[in-house]
Amino acid sequence: MTTRFTPATLAEFPILTDAELSTMRQYRLNRIRAELKQRDYAGILLYDPLNIRYATDTSNMQVWCMHNAVRYCFIPTEGPVTLFDFHGCNHLSEGYETVQEVRSALSWFYFGAGPRVQEKAKRWALEIADLVRTHGGGNRRLAIDKCDSAGIAALEAEGMEIFDGQEVTELARRIKSSEELKAMRIAIAANDEAFRRMEHMLRPGLTENDVWSVLHQTNIELGGEWIETRLLASGPRTNPWFRESSNRVIESGDLVCLDSDLIGPYGYCADISRSWYCGDGKPNDEQRRLYEMATAQLDYNQRLLKPGLTFKEFSQQSYQLPEDYLPNRYSVVAHGVGLCDEYPHIAYTEDMERGGYNGLIEPGMAICIESYVGRVGGREGVKLEQQMLITDSGSELLSPYPLDESFL
């Protein structure tokens, strides 16, 4: 096995300068406000930790806050940003120019409120409505990204008109600044170092979890944050896809497939898939056919990817899998990526009418090209994925980690 990456340490990794961080923060907040202004909203209330991170760059117990609504942020279209943080955490956002005021959050979901949900939701709504009245200039049109029904009802009782905030945040996040792209490249560098270590250690007798754990360890060591999924499978567990990493012992001659979904330094996502051959032998003919088809799909769709194409045009013109592979196709042909998997979600032509939507591929988007190739009834499958940047004239590869030379 050829190693083409040298070991990395945190000291060797690039960082964003203070000036770049400040520029990135202001760019992202301005993107949110531009979307609010376009829709004539008074402001937006954010609960999703990734939307709060995008708008303010502050973070606090990100994974825990995804399922515990203890942290939220009000961003007026014009005026000061108010962050409501978890009890005892007001100090965490000190020094962030994106936040002008920090208050203690009032949690009214059942874990925090029990039978007092309605009472606490009403108190919460009074405080939010007061901010809208103070900074909205008479406009009571409020966007919210995520909120339970009790909160919506309480805000409407205060005279607020509620709108979908996810449209605001997804569309704001779709175009990356140069500073965001630098942060993404740093996350990809952490991902690639993890891949290097995983591929180097891969041998028969290890479990899937033995290999997968290195992704977590390396990401944390290099300043990353968490892993979104645990998608690593070996041998017959690679077909169909989406089986999670297990204690299965990897055998000689197995394919080992993984999808990183790594949230790295600065909170940016590296979403890259590779498939490796385990052992000292050579891939068999069926494994080679799978790998060749997956690389052909990636190469074809990568060349097709360019600004000005609609999502439907890209889907219709994309690589066509043979009929006996279609039922096991991946969930999308391509998707956006930033702080996580983001807009757009570009469906296969076969799925466009049932669950897809149209839009425009634009310069500044970061897009992941997906491939999963596994024949119905086959023993194994191959998962590959590349992370791309849409440029003014085409696309640029952001994920340089090499494919497995055993198949080439």
Q: Which residues are 257's β-sheet partners?
A: 233, 275
Res 183 pLDDT > 90? yes
Residue range 3-13: mean pLDDT, rounded: 53
Residue range 260-279: mean pLDDT, rounded: 98
pLDDT in tens, 66-115: 999 999 999 999 999 999 999 999 999 999 999 999 999 999 999 999 99
The answer to whether the CB of 193 falls within 8 A of the CB of 5 is yes
Residue range 191-218: mean pLDDT, rounded: 98
Using alpha carbons, select from 70, 95, 75 the residue that is nearest to residue 85: 70
pLDDT at 14: 84
**Long-range pairs for 344-351 at CB < 8 Å and ≥24 separation?**
344/174, 344/311, 346/311, 346/314, 346/315, 347/311, 347/315, 348/315, 348/318, 349/315, 349/316, 349/318, 350/326
Sheet holding 269-270, edge to edge: 226-227, 262-263, 269-270
pLDDT band at 5 (very low <50, low <70, confident <90, very high): very low
pLDDT at 10: 57
pLDDT in tens, 365-378: 999 999 999 999 99
pLDDT at 408: 79
For the chain, the domains span 18-173, 178-407
Residues 6+ apart with CB under 8 A from 30: none
What would the two tokens of residue 330 be?
A: 């991946």
Cβ density class 224-255: b for 16+ within 10 Å, e for less = bbebeebbbbbbebbbebebebeebebeebbb
pLDDT at 13: 73
pLDDT at 325: 98
The answer to whether the CB of 286 falls within 8 A of the CB of 378 is yes
Coil vs helix vs strand at 239: coil
CA distances from 100 to 56, 82, 131 (A): 10, 6, 13
The answer to whether the CB of 347 falls within 8 A of the CB of 355 is yes
Residue range 393-399: mean pLDDT, rounded: 97
Pick the CATH number of 178-407 from 3.40.50.300, 3.90.230.10, 3.20.19.10, 1.20.810.10: 3.90.230.10
pLDDT band at 9 (very low <50, low <70, confident <90, very high): low
Residue range 143-165: mean pLDDT, rounded: 97
Q: Which residues are 365's β-sheet partners?
A: none
pLDDT in tens, 112-141: 999 999 999 999 999 999 999 999 999 999
Strand ranges for 100-181 from DSSP E:
101-104, 141-144, 161-164
Coil vs helix vs strand at 233: strand
Residue range 216-238: mean pLDDT, rounded: 97
Q: How, if at all, do strands 82-85 and 72-76 pair?
A: antiparallel
Name the percent of the chain lying above pLDDT 70: 97
Whose structure tokens read 């060749």? Answer: 292
Name the percent of the chain lying above pLDDT 90: 96
Q: Which residues are 136's β-sheet partners?
A: none
Mean pLDDT of the chain: 96
pLDDT band at 1 (very low <50, low <70, confident <90, very high): very low
Radius of gyration for the alpha carbons in the chain, expressed in angstroms and rounded: 23
Annotation: CATH topology of 18-173:
Creatine Amidinohydrolase; Chain A, domain 1 (3.40.350)
